[in-house]
């Protein structure tokens, strides 16, 4: 579903996963994203799906190892 967000002169027509709208004085040190996506829908043709079977065989031992780099490399964040 398309979403339209308007902030005075900033027009946002679409946003992706892990995106940001930033204006003015902002600070995002060590910006990092982690995640996983499984899709088993295949390809749709002419909006007709007959006898659909979706199988996702996910054999990962760990889906996404989350880390926090700010613990290893702390950076001061100040705004005036």
- Distance from C-alpha of 18 to C-alpha of 6, rounded to nearest angstrom: 19
User: What CA–CA distance (Å, rounded) separates 33 from 66?
Assistant: 9
pLDDT in tens, 1-26: 667 766 667 777 887 777 777 777 77
Instruction: Supply the pLDDT for residue 42.
Output: 61
Distance CA 3, CA 44 (A): 23
Identify the CA nearest to 33 among candidates 68, 74, 7, 2: 68
Read off the pLDDT of residues 29-66 as tens digits, 9 standing for 90 and up. 766 666 777 766 666 667 676 777 777 777 777 776 66
pLDDT at 50: 72
Q: How many residues does the chain have?
A: 80
DSSP states of 7-41: ETTEEE----TT-----SS---TT-----------
């Amino acid at each position: 579903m398309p979403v339209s967000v308007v902030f005075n002169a900033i027009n946002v027509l679409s946003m992706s996963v892990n995106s940001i709208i930033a204006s003015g004085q902002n600070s995002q040190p060590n910006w990092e994203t982690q995640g996983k996506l499984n899709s088993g829908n295949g390809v749709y043709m002419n909006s007709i799906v007959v006898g659909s079977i979706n199988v996702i065989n996910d054999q990962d031992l760990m889906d996404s190892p989350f880390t926090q780099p700010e613990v290893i490399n702390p950076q001061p964040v100040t705004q005036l």
